[in-house]
Amino acid sequence: MSKVSNLVVAVTGIIAVAVYVAVDSFSADDTYTPTVDMGQADWAAIAAWPELIEVPDVESLPDPDRIFTMIVLDDSGSMGDDLEQAKTAVIEAVRMMDRQDRVGVLALNAGLVLPIATVEDVIPRLESTLRPVYSTGSTPLGPALSAARDFLSEEAARSRSFGTYRIIVTTDGAADDPDRLIREVIETVNTTPIQVATIGIGIGARHVLNAAGQTSYVAVDDVGKLSEALQAAVAENADFSPITAFAEGN
Amino acid sequence: MRSLIRPLSIVLALTLGTGTAVAETGDPLAEVVTSPVRDCSGGTTQNMPLIAWGADGVVVHANGNSLTPRPGLLQQAGWELTLSVKDAFAEQVADYLGCDTPFLRGTLGMLMAAAPVTEADPRTEQIVFFKHSWSAGDGIVAAEGIQRPSDLAGKRIAIQAYGPHVDFVGRVLADAGLGFGDVTVVWAEDLTGDGDTPANLFAEGQADAAAVILPDARFVTSGGTVGTGAEGSVKGATILISTLEATSVISDYIAVRADYFDAHREEIAQLVNALFRAEEAMRGFMAEEGNPDRAALAQLMADEFLGGLPAEEGVFLWMDAITDGWSGNARHFADAADPRRFSVLGQEVAASLRGAGMIDFPHELAAAEWDFTALTDGLTNLDDRQIALFNPEKAAQAVNRLRRTGQLDANTKIDFQVYFEPDTPEFPADLYAEDFATILRLASTYSGAIITVEGHADPLHFLRREKEGAAKSELRGIRTSTQNLSLQRAIAVVDALENFAGETGIRVNRDQFIVDGVGISSPAYNPPTTEAEWRQNMRVVFRVLTAQAEATTFDPL
């Protein structure tokens, strides 16, 4: 990304955070407001993602149908008994994926519990890998989102950014640093093609991880709807009908 | 309008037997060589011309690593050959007519240039009986501002008259949509060295581009990069294209007079078998660093072909040639499915030379028409060879880098309009036979070049939803879908191309094609205002990458 783009993103992020904090401070409850200005998509930055990373095994024939997913699992102390429900949701989500897709799991406190691999390789060891993850520690959701993005960047460098990229956050939403979380969400949705989806545990409709039009959301007891929430968009209309306004320079 | 610059200072005065010809460099050979024809049916003790080319080392090796007859494969085959380097082709032709030698050694362009002279008498009609190699050692250098072959329009190009590059330039111009009528040819007398050469004409500013051997190309471009203007380089000069990419363009042969061939067909078949065996042996030991045979032959070539340069130059000379051996000859002369077979190349070369004014009408040179299955004695490897190997991963990485740094456009480009169904990679492949044939011809001609296959999608749906105020997540999703759809389209076209090649028996190296997709980032029409424009946005573009990615991806055999 160019310096100008970086600056635009940074300024957009700062304004967004300022707006968010200002609005949030007037909120009647503890949930985040969905009226945060999330800024505009930087299409040039999205097209240039990931930055030119030299990786040794660039794919000559990447699979455009493949989906790359980094799951961020909230294993913080606030999750408590909900963690087991979150683990079950993660397992269910992975089982819904195509066997050739790639997935990894990053826990907020336990770290990278499952490096990105094919779903086929991950499924047999997923339960045993998640079993020792306990609810403890803080909730660094922002840094985890950033790290998940970096993992996906490496995957994208290998696949020349073809395919679909997702971060699925399984959390109760209580971030240590809400501002950092917002900045990371904004950077992700404005400067990369990565979709952000949340499997939420008691998250209100005004949380940044449940911001309609920016991120996708399903409740933890309704993970079956995740596929629907993340359905691929139509690329081209089936029929032509001109939009004359474009020709007039609008 | 064609304009051939003929410096008055460069006049050939050849005294040939009883006839004297005075002509200018670049005149047709028929005006330069006027010596009489003598009968030629002597025995197998003969002179044979060589040119300063790595593949000619095969003949030297077969001759007992000597220019004079020594024990070796050729003597075993009953031949006593005295070899001599004859880079002045007009002199070679004169020797050939006078039967100082029954052999003629040259590229197909050189042999074709001699056709008006040799084919005028049935005794001297050429029978092309052995293919040495393809060239990976020639190139076209260009001045600053000339970035792609199509930029040569209206420019001056220096070429050695009767040399190996006339048809090379013709091929490159043709694939850029140009002809000799679109450029000014500046003829040079010599190929390389200190005299009247294309490199020197280029360096002196008398030409905007020059067809040269790669050592000269590297010299004027400061090592194959961009000329700095220091140490003899030309400031801003670059290698426009080379036979590292256009690997199946310049081919080297030995021809023999028809009267001699008729009298010695079986002996010449034995000679060919000896050369196949020598090539097989030489290919083996020249690949082994430290091999004493390699050291000896490299030194001999450096001394005899290059006028006493260090031995390593002899190795480089060998590496500039992609020798054919038995399998390459069998394919080239006897496989009707080979897109670069002798007859096809002959037509191309004749068209180029006509365009350059060197022949008046297309000649068809005869081939020996060997039964190659009868020429395998003593050979251990008859496997088919690919001219070039690609590392697809490195190629993909190079393409990625070129795209990201905005350098992917400076290449030969073919827009391939494919009528895809909207939102799918499906298209009626059976309607595109002619396009596939064109692409396969290009792929085989530029067999050392990566070809990118770049899919595109139409942006109208995205633009409409954006205008309607769709959420960012939806727009991002559409963008991702178009990106992936464009790659699917590129893959579908290459699959169809491969099927077409299989059905028509044409060889194709799938690794040469790197699929890519750019989604809606560069539509032909943005926005499309008619259904035709909308359809044309759903397309695939082929790009023949030249002189950019070969260093990391191409491995000539």
| CA dist., res. B557 & res. B537, Å (int) | 39
Give the closest-approach CA distance of B509 to chain A in angstroms: 14
Quote the tokens at residue B212: 């040269």
pLDDT at A220: 85
Nearest-Å Rg of the Cα atoms of chain A is 19
| pLDDT band at residue B26 using 50, 70 and 90 as cut-offs | confident
Question: What's the predicted TM-score (pTM) here?
Answer: 0.78
Contact by Cβ (8 Å): A140, A78: no
Give the closest-approach CA distance of A28 to chain B in angstroms: 27
Contact A243 B467 (CB under 8 A): yes
Choose the closest CB to B488 out of A64, A160, A246. Answer: A64
Contact by Cβ (8 Å): B57, B301: yes
Quote the tokens at residue B353: 């030379």
Q: Rounded mean pLDDT of chain B?
A: 88
Q: What percent of chain A has pLDDT over 70?
A: 82
Give the closest-approach CA distance of B394 to chain A in angstroms: 7
| CA dist., res. A217 & res. B371, Å (int) | 72
| CA dist., res. A135 & res. B265, Å (int) | 89
* Residue range B222-248, pLDDT digits in tens: 988 899 999 889 999 999 999 988 889
Give the closest-approach CA distance of A90 to chain B in angstroms: 22
Chain B residue nearest residue A249, CA to CA: B527
Contact B481 A60 (CB under 8 A): no
Contact by Cβ (8 Å): B250, B109: yes
Chain A residue nearest residue B532, CA to CA: A240
Count CB atoms within 10 A of the CB of residue B416: 18
Choose the closest CB to A60 out of B392, B422, B480. Answer: B392
Contacts of B70 by beta carbon, 8 Å cutoff, 6+ apart? B63, B64
Quote the tokens at residue A39: 């800024």
Chain B residue nearest residue A162, CA to CA: B484
Nearest-Å Rg of the Cα atoms of chain B is 25
Contact by Cβ (8 Å): A179, A21: yes
The values of phi and psi at residue B388, to 5°, are -135, 145
A132: left (phi over 0), alpha (psi -120 to 50) or beta: alpha
Mean pLDDT across the stretch B389-405? 82
| CA dist., res. A6 & res. A51, Å (int) | 12
Choose the closest CB to A162 out of B457, B483, B534. Answer: B483
ipTM of the complex: 0.84
C-alpha distance from residue B451 to each of A4, B26, B229, B542, B549 (Å)? 33, 35, 32, 7, 11
Signed CA dihedral, B177, B183, B189, B193: sign only: negative
pLDDT at B4 over 60: no
Contact B534 A240 (CB under 8 A): yes
Signed CA dihedral, B189, B193, B199, B201: sign only: negative
* Residue range B163-178, pLDDT digits in tens: 899 999 999 999 888 9
Burial letters for B36-55: b for 16+ Cβ neighbours within 10 Å, e otherwise?
Answer: ebeebeeeeebebbbbbbbb
E strands, B93-199, are 103-107, 126-135, 138-142, 156-160, 184-188
Contact by Cβ (8 Å): B331, B224: no
Contact A236 B487 (CB under 8 A): no
Contacts of B476 in chain A (CB under 8 A): 41, 46, 189, 193, 195
Contact by Cβ (8 Å): B158, B5: no
Q: Helix H segments across chain A? A: 3-25, 43-47, 82-95, 119-130, 141-159, 178-191, 226-229, 244-247
State how far Cα B202 lies from the chain centre: 21
The DSSP 8-state label assigned to residue B120 in this structure reads T
CA dihedral B80, B85, B88, B92 (to 10 degrees): 0
Choose the closest CB to A61 out of B423, B477, B515. Answer: B515
Counting Cα atoms < 13 Å in the Cβ hemisphere of B2 gives: 13
Contact B463 A243 (CB under 8 A): yes
N-terminal to C-terminal alpha carbon distance within chain A: 28
Quote the tokens at residue B190: 């010599």
The DSSP 8-state label assigned to residue A225 in this structure reads G
The values of phi and psi at residue B519, to 5°, are 60, -125
pLDDT at B396 over 60: yes
Contacts of A234 in chain B (CB under 8 A): 423, 461, 478, 481
pLDDT at A54: 79
CB pairs under 8 A between A and B: 135
Instruction: Say which residue the tokens 């020197």 belong to.
Output: B200
Give the closest-approach CA distance of B503 to chain A in angstroms: 23
Contacts of B484 in chain A (CB under 8 A): 64-65, 162-164, 235
pLDDT at B16 over 80: no
Contacts of B488 in chain A (CB under 8 A): 64-65
* Residue range B262-279, pLDDT digits in tens: 999 999 999 999 999 999
| CA dist., res. B220 & res. B244, Å (int) | 18
Mean pLDDT across the stretch A141-152? 96
Mean pLDDT lowest among A207-216, B39-48, B373-382: A207-216
Choose the closest CB to B393 out of A60, A216, A237. Answer: A60
Quote the tokens at residue B347: 């037509």
Contact A164 B395 (CB under 8 A): no
State how far Cα B177 lies from the chain centre: 17
Range ranked top by mean pLDDT from A109-118, A198-207, B436-445: A109-118
Contact by Cβ (8 Å): B522, B503: no
β-pairing verdict for A164-171 and A67-73:
parallel
Mean pLDDT across the stretch B15-38? 68
Q: What percent of chain B has pLDDT over 70?
A: 91
Contact B528 A240 (CB under 8 A): yes
pLDDT at B2: 28
Choose the closest CB to B396 out of A38, A160, A163. Answer: A160
Instruction: Give the neighbor-by-neighbor strand order of the sheet with A67-73.
Output: A111-118, A102-107, A67-73, A164-171, A195-200, A216-219
Mean pLDDT across the stretch A104-123? 97
Q: What percent of chain B has pLDDT over 90?
A: 68
Contact by Cβ (8 Å): A27, A208: no
Interface probe with A: pick from B484, B525, B530, B538, most Cβ of A within 10 Å: B484
The DSSP 8-state label assigned to residue B151 in this structure reads G
E strands, B405-498, are 412-416, 451-455
Contacts of A164 in chain B (CB under 8 A): 480, 484
* Residue range B282-330, pLDDT digits in tens: 999 999 999 999 999 999 999 998 888 899 989 999 999 999 999 999 9
Contacts of A41 in chain B (CB under 8 A): 472, 475-476
Contact A236 B480 (CB under 8 A): no
Contacts of A177 by beta carbon, 8 Å cutoff, 6+ apart? A140, A141, A142
Cis peptide before A50 (omega within 30 of 0): yes
Q: What is the largest CA-CA distance in chain B?
A: 89
Quote the tokens at residue B202: 């280029």
Give the closest-approach CA distance of A165 to chain B in angstroms: 9
Chain A residue nearest residue B495, CA to CA: A61
Contact A240 B401 (CB under 8 A): no
E strands, B282-426, are 321-323, 366-367, 388-390, 412-416
Contact by Cβ (8 Å): A208, A176: no
Interface probe with B: pick from A162, A210, A236, most Cβ of B within 10 Å: A236
* Residue range A22-42, pLDDT digits in tens: 333 333 344 444 456 788 999
B175 vs B70, residue with greater confidence:
B70
Burial letters for A217-249: b for 16+ Cβ neighbours within 10 Å, e otherwise?
Answer: bbebeebeebeebbeebbbbbeebebbeebeee
* Residue range B459-516, pLDDT digits in tens: 999 999 999 999 999 999 999 999 999 999 999 999 999 999 999 888 888 989 999 9
According to DSSP, the residues that pair with A105 across neighbouring strands are: A71, A114
Contact A234 B478 (CB under 8 A): yes
Contact A235 B423 (CB under 8 A): yes
Count CB atoms within 10 A of the CB of residue A88: 15
Contact by Cβ (8 Å): B79, B274: yes
Give the closest-approach CA distance of B548 to chain A in angstroms: 18
A119: left (phi over 0), alpha (psi -120 to 50) or beta: alpha
Instruction: Say which residue the tokens 């020792």 belong to.
Output: A132
Give the closest-approach CA distance of B225 to chain A in angstroms: 22
According to DSSP, the residues that pair with A11 across neighbouring strands are: none
What percent of chain B is helix, strand and coil (3-state, nearest 5)?
40, 20, 40
What percent of chain A is helix, strand and coil (3-state, nearest 5)?
45, 15, 40
Contacts of A65 in chain B (CB under 8 A): 484, 488
Contact B480 A62 (CB under 8 A): no
Chain B residue nearest residue A211, CA to CA: B473
| pLDDT band at residue A174 using 50, 70 and 90 as cut-offs | confident
pLDDT at B557 over 90: no
Q: Rounded mean pLDDT of chain A?
A: 83
Choose the closest CB to A234 out of B401, B423, B472. Answer: B423
Quote the tokens at residue A130: 């998640």
**Quick one: angle between helices B472-504 and B433-445, nearest 10?**
80
pLDDT at A116 over 70: yes
Give the closest-approach CA distance of B531 to chain A in angstroms: 6
Give the closest-approach CA distance of A86 to chain B in angstroms: 25
pLDDT at A5: 47
Contacts of A59 in chain B (CB under 8 A): 393, 396
pLDDT at B447: 84
Burial letters for A185-208: b for 16+ Cβ neighbours within 10 Å, e otherwise?
Answer: bbbbbbbbbbbbbbbbbebeebbb
Exposed/middle/buried for B430, CB within 10 Å: 0-12, 13-18, 19+?
A: exposed
- In one-letter notation, the amino acid at residue B389 is L
Choose the closest CB to B487 out of A57, A64, A237. Answer: A64
Interface probe with A: pick from B389, B390, B391, B397, most Cβ of A within 10 Å: B397
pLDDT at A52 over 80: no
